[in-house]
């Protein structure tokens, strides 16, 4: 097996079925300005491509990263690979990175269980440091009503929420959904990584879903999600305005999001990372579990 740096156009032609939109050429090109350099690497066996990976780095002294501007990344396969091939491919990628090293974050196992297991095994053998992130999601198998998943306390809150008069809009504008999120972050003093223009640019690459909760006609809570992989809807932002605190808007929004994902036929609704050693947020993890989401893990490897 050999490794070659190729152009973005050649990479797209050789690695045609990335695991998610985050490891695709269009998404990487869209976000290339956020780093100093993006490289496209393809592993070959004979004349045929075996796998590929897209790496970014901020400068010549910084480690390579996959992802460099997304929740997760990793290597994509051009064909089915044996475990020894996965190990060899990551060894060659690590050699390419040299003294700079590299950081890789894998998706939660539920995206592709066998794939993530192979890559976790291969990366763990090379890692000089590893970190675990707690992630929460729903596996949407046989239809189960949202109310049956939540804790008794949240079930009471959910009933009170819907009695308070919320109405669900599953087709709001991107501007309206984003404005609720923007106000929520402003009220809470949290940064908002994406501008409205960023979100619109990403919408040209990744299909997005917006949900707005209204109270007396006013948008008071919203969610923004990506159809990030086949069968997977990933929550990117959600939040509510302070004026409806005490009326349990987030429980109602979780219900609306879950019901929408189930109706649309998704296999997984990923609520995203909840907490990690370097950025603890146990209250967020507790809330996600109280509304029925199951805990999962994301692995971060430093090579």
Question: What per-residue string of b and e applies to 178-201 under the rule 16 or more CB within 10 Å gives b?
Answer: bbbbbbbeeeeeeeeebeeeebee
Residue 246 has pLDDT above 80, yes or no: yes
Residue 233 has pLDDT above 90, yes or no: yes
pLDDT at 229: 95
Please give the DSSP secondary-structure letter assigned to residue 152.
H
Task: List, for residues 170-180, the tens digit of each pLDDT value.
Answer: 999 999 999 99
**Banded model confidence at residue 192, pLDDT cuts 50, 70, 90:** very high
pLDDT at 278: 67
Is the CB of residue 301 less than 8 Å from the CB of residue 101? no
Task: List, for residues 8-37, the tens digit of each pLDDT value.
Answer: 999 999 999 999 999 999 999 999 999 999
Mean per-residue pLDDT over the chain, rounded: 93
Residues across the chain: 303
With the CA atoms of 67, 72, 77 and 78 taken in that order, what torsion angle do they form, in degrees rounded to the nearest 10?
-60
Q: Percentage of residues in the chain with pLDDT exceeding 70?
A: 98
**Banded model confidence at residue 47, pLDDT cuts 50, 70, 90:** confident
Q: What is the CA radius of gyration of the chain?
A: 20
pLDDT at 143: 77
pLDDT at 283: 87
Domains of the chain as residue ranges with CATH: 2-126 (3.40.630.30), 137-295 (3.40.630.30)
Considering the entire predicted model, what is its pTM? 0.92
pLDDT at 2: 95
Q: Rounded CA gap, 90 and 102, in Å?
A: 11
61 to each of 32, 98, 257, how far by Cα in Å? Answer: 18, 11, 42
Question: What per-residue string of b and e applies to 263-294 under the rule 16 or more CB within 10 Å gives b?
Answer: eeebbbbbbbbbbbeeeeeeebbebbbbbbbe
Q: Rounded CA gap, 207 and 270, in Å?
A: 15
Is the CB of residue 245 less than 8 Å from the CB of residue 281? no
């Amino acid at each position: 097996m050999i490794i070659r740096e190729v152009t973005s156009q050649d990479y797209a032609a050789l690695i045609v079925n990335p695991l998610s939109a985050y490891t695709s050429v269009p998404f990487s090109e869209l976000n290339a300005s956020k780093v100093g350099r993006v490289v496209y690497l393809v592993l070959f066996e004979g004349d045929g491509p075996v796998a590929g990976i897209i790496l970014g780095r901020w400068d010549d002294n910084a480690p390579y990263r996959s992802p460099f501007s997304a929740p997760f990344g990793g290597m994509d396969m051009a064909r089915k690979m044996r475990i020894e091939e996965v190990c060899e491919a990551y060894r060659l990628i690590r050699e390419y990175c040299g003294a700079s090293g590299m950081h890789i974050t894998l998706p939660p196992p539920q995206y592709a269980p066998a794939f993530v297991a192979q890559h976790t095994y291969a990366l763990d053998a090379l890692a000089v440091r590893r970190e675990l992130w707690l992630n929460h999601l729903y596996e949407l198998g046989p239809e189960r009503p949202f109310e049956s998943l939540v804790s008794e306390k949240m079930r009471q809150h959910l009933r009170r929420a819907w009695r308070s008069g919320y109405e669900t809009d599953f087709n709001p504008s991107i501007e309206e959904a984003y404005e609720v999120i923007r106000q929520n972050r402003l009220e809470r003093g949290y940064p908002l990584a994406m501008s409205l223009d960023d979100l619109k640019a990403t919408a040209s690459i990744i299909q997005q879903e917006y949900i707005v909760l209204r109270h007396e006609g006013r948008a008071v809570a919203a969610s923004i999600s990506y159809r990030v992989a086949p069968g997977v809807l990933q929550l990117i932002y959600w939040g509510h305005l302070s004026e409806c605190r005490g009326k349990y808007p987030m429980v109602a929004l979780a219900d609306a999001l879950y019901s929408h994902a189930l109706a649309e036929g998704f296999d997984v609704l990923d609520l995203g990372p909840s907490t990690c050693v370097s950025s603890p947020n146990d209250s967020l993890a507790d809330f996600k579990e109280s509304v029925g989401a199951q805990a999962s893990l994301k692995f971060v490897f430093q090579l």
